[in-house]
Amino acid sequence: MNRRKFVKVIPSLAILSGGVSAYGLKALDLQELKPIVLPKPDNLESKPLFNSLMDRKTTRNISEKELPVQIMSNLLWSAFGVNRETLGFNKKGRTAPSASNSQEIDLYVVLLEGVYIYEPINHQLLPVAEGDFRSRSVYKGGAFAPVNIFFVVDLSRYDLGPTQPDPNIGDPEVQKSYYYTDTGFIAQNIYLYAASAGLAAWFHNCDKVNTIKDFKLKPTQRVLFAQTVGYPE
């Protein structure tokens, strides 16, 4: 995906005009990358669910060809986008479930020009770091594939307050079972959208050390896995 294509048509957003955003991103840290406002997702060319399930598979040979912005929009919305305006715990509903609706998984989208975080409420990509970090997916093809999505959990999203209905949500082992399961839900959504759109996808391990610094993660965040997406070769 060519950043210049987006910069021509999208404005800088107020959320990054100064100070710190809801994701802890400082506007002054980024000189070149701009937010990418994604178009509204559509399903005009998607296969029926049953056909997508029949076609769901892991494909490791992925082309360098860039994905159109509409495909990117559909992909990220399918992964963990907003599909309902209201749900429990005063949060919008998402396309994948999470424990106590914690929505603790963030998707860091690594493109040729830099790292972005998917912000689902406004359906946009917020810049995190400039540069090509696709090789952090620890997959030789990931260094050339157009999109690598990293699954990052933010443990601070688990509500430990007195109104939390899950008495065990503060247990680190319980949290681990939750965020691994929730990652699986999102990854399967990506697989199914990829199958519906004729894309290749591969869920795999990743560099969990260097990404902490590269993605400017907080102490409460953990890198879990990555998923490479693009056109099949």
Beta bridge partners of 153: 105, 222
**pLDDT bucket at 16, cuts 50 / 70 / 90:** very low
Within 13 Å and on the Cβ side, how many CA atoms surround 101? 14
- What distance in Å separates the CA atoms of residue 229 and residue 227, rounded to the nearest whole number? 6
Predicted confidence (pLDDT) per residue in 158-202, tens digit: 998 888 889 999 999 999 999 999 999 999 999 999 999 999 999
Within 13 Å and on the Cβ side, how many CA atoms surround 63? 11
Give the dihedral sign, CA 204/209/215/218. positive
Predicted confidence (pLDDT) per residue in 19-45, tens digit: 444 555 544 355 689 999 999 999 766
Residue 211 contacts residue 150 (beta carbons within 8 Å): yes
- What distance in Å separates the CA atoms of residue 49 and residue 52, rounded to the nearest whole number? 5
Cβ burial of 221 (10 Å; 0-12, 13-18, 19+) is buried
| pTM across the whole model | 0.86
